[in-house]
């Protein structure tokens, strides 16, 4: 009876839409000025503005959600980074390498008016090595006359060049059709091949918080089982480390160990690296330097992991250096700066002394358990019924919007769809989230709540 007024098909559709698993990842790579950012803007439908590139201006946001023909995926934009420290070949290659590593498929953008350059050839070699599906976009074909320029790009050996104009939209639909064919339904690296394998941890944090020290500590004290992915000729990027009697996969450790130090663009690199690691992981262990003020960069990294829907553990490092005064202020800062992840398990560690290393695994397990929690529909609705009766939504315009029923559409992280008789205000949504957490735990996991209103 509670479902009255909802078309059963709409209900099913809403649940299905909310229940999607992690999205496959598309990387857009190529030389500067070939039109990557313009193309990303077009793919995401300009719903989110990609900041104009300016030397020295770094962008933290590198992944965006997109949809084409009813399928959703993420786009990694590599257009935000100015090369000049490493020289163009090396910088484009390094940038592409990071993006390719994180991606399930790649759009390689070439300027058809210029044709293939040596730098383009270098990226082609990387793409071959990585073995990911590639869609070749011959950009700046604004009209019929440019089509022949595009045809020359067959010589790259990447198959059919798709002539497009990122600026005007010409040909981008056909190119996106090819992209959908290349993209797996679910992310390969994340959920396809690794189901049942070791749990995947991304150890992230801004430079100098102690990531490599922590990794060395846990890897040295425990046994490093394997340090290369079977059957690949790439650098070892993931390491299997046994902790607390369980084997864990630390993803992207190569990026932690051999840190590339750059001046300009270093932040952008770090963001891309972080995004890549987070995409591949189930749980993000976010390292924060407790001896320093919590920074905007720390918050951005936290937001990245939350937005990606990963289980989260906060590890406050360098605890050995803290005096009483710093400890006092740290607690205040945590409250004000990191309130958005107050639900994340926390450990106070020292990679130097090994303090509280043994608490890391239980925290990770707690977060993963929250991430995978599924609330049976009956229990959820009993809870919602009581909650709505005890704390009704404020009356608006003489009407009282009510939550009629709800269901958990998915896990990893938990996703809920609530069906309501009217618009549910943000404050009330937050209240429901708080009560859901109080009732069912969800420690260490973001939760998504979408509300459907009866028409
Ligand atoms: P990125 O460095 O690869 O991200 O390149 P941008 O997207 O910033 O584009 C570089 C320049 O090429 C800008 O001036 C764009 O307006 C221009 N551009 C991008 N796509 C097209 C296109 O399809 N046709 C034409 N004529 N210009 C384009
Ligand atoms: P990363 O850039 O995040 O990988 O950071 P590193 O592991 O390179 O560490 C940066 C600096 O912090 C190095 O000088 C480390 O020796 C130091 N460091 C790391 N962990 C600790 C810690 O727990 N206590 C103290 N006192 N120093 C630490």
Are 377 and 385 spatial neighbours (Cβ–Cβ below 8 Å)? no
Which atom of ligand 1 lies closest to the CA of 30? 3
Which residues are 74's β-sheet partners?
25, 65
Neighbours of 223 (CB within 10 A): 11
C-alpha 274 to ligand 2 mean position (Å): 18
Is there a binding annotation on residue 403? no
* Portion of the chain with pLDDT greater than 70, in percent: 80
Is 319 annotated as ligand-binding? yes
| Protein residue with least CA distance to atom 17, ligand 2 | 210
In this prediction, residue 447 carries a pLDDT of 94
**With a 6 A CB cut-off, is 165 part of the ligand 2 pocket?**
no
Alpha helices, H only, 198-323: 211-221, 253-257, 266-280, 296-307
Provide, for the chain, the percentages of residues in helix, strand and coil under a 3-state DSSP scheme, each rounded to the nearest 5.
40, 20, 40
Say yes or no to pLDDT of 191 above 50: no
pLDDT (tens digit, 9 = 90+) per residue, 200-250? 999 999 888 999 889 888 886 544 444 334 333 334 578 888 888 888 989
From 210, 295, 319, the mutation candidate for ligand 2 (largest count of ligand atoms within 8 A of CB) is 210
Check: CB of residue 127 under 8 Å from CB of residue 107: no
Distance 292 CA to ligand 2 centre (A): 12
- How close is the Cα of 211 to the center of ligand 2, in Å? 7
Of all atoms in ligand 1, which is nearest to the CA of residue 40?
7
Measured between its terminal Cα atoms, the distance across the chain in Å is 16
pLDDT in tens, 113-123: 999 998 888 88
185 vs 37 pLDDT, higher one:
37
The model's pLDDT over 337-369, given as tens digits with 9 standing for 90+, comes to 999 999 999 999 999 999 999 999 999 999 999
The C-alpha angle with vertex 233 and arms to 232 and 238, in degrees rounded to 5, equals 60
CA of 177 to the centre of ligand 1 (A): 21
User: Please, are residues 78 and 36 in contact by the beta-carbon 8 Å criterion?
Assistant: yes
Q: How confident is the model at residue 24 (pLDDT cuts 50, 70, 90)?
A: confident
pLDDT class of 142 with cuts at 50, 70, 90: very high
How much is the average pLDDT of 173-198? 73
Query: pLDDT-based confidence at 93, cuts 50/70/90?
Result: low
pTM: 0.73
Cβ distance 21 to 145 under 8 Å?
no
Share of the chain above pLDDT 90, in %: 49
205 annotated as ligand-binding? yes
């Amino acid at each position: 009876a509670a479902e009255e007024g909802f078309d059963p098909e709409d209900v099913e559709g809403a649940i299905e839409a909310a229940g999607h698993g992690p999205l496959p990842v598309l990387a857009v790579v190529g030389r500067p000025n070939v039109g990557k950012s313009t193309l990303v803007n077009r793919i995401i439908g300009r719903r989110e503005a990609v900041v104009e590139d300016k030397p020295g201006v770094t962008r933290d946001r590198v992944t965006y959600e997109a949809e084409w023909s009813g399928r959703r995926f993420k786009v990694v934009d590599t257009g935000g980074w100015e090369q000049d420290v490493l020289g163009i070949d090396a910088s484009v290659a390094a940038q592409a390498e990071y993006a390719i590593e994180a991606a399930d498929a790649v759009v390689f953008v070439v300027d058809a008016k210029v044709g293939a350059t040596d730098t383009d050839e270098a990226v082609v070699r990387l793409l071959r090595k990585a073995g990911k599906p590639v869609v070749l976009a011959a950009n700046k074909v604004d009209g019929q006359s440019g089509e022949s320029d595009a045809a020359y790009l067959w010589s790259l050996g990447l198959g059919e060049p798709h002539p497009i104009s990122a600026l005007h939209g010409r040909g981008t639909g056909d190119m996106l059709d090819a992209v959908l064919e290349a993209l797996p339904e679910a992310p390969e690296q994340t959920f396809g091949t690794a189901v049942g394998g070791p749990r995947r941890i991304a150890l992230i944090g801004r430079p100098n918080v102690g990531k490599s020290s922590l990794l060395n500590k846990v890897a040295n004290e425990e046994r490093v089982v394997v340090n290369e992915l079977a059957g690949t000729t790439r650098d070892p990027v993931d390491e299997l480390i046994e902790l607390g009697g369980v084997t864990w996969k630390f993803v992207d450790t190569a990026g932690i160990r051999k840190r590339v130090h750059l001046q300009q663009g270093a932040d952008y690199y770090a963001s891309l690296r972080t995004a890549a690691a987070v995409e591949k992981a189930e749980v993000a262990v976010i390292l924060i330097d407790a001896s320093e003020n919590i920074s905007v960069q720390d918050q951005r990294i936290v937001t990245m992991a939350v937005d990606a829907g990963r289980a989260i553990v906060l590890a406050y490092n360098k605890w050995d250096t803290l005096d009483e005064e710093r400890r006092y202020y740290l607690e205040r800062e945590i409250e004000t700066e990191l309130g958005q992840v107050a639900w994340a398990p926390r450990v106070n560690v020292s990679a130097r002394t090994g303090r509280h290393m043994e608490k890391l695994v239980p925290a990770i397990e707690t977060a993963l358990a929250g991430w995978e929690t599924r609330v049976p529909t009956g229990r959820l609705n009993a809870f919602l019924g009581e909650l709505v009766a005890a704390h009704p939504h404020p009356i608006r315009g003489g009407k009282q919007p009510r939550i009629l029923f709800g269901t958990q559409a998915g896990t990893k992280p938990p996703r809920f769809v609530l069906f309501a008789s009217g618009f549910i205000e943000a404050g009330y949504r937050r209240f429901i989230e708080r009560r859901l957490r109080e009732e069912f735990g969800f420690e260490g996991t973001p939760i998504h709540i979408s509300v459907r209103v009866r028409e």
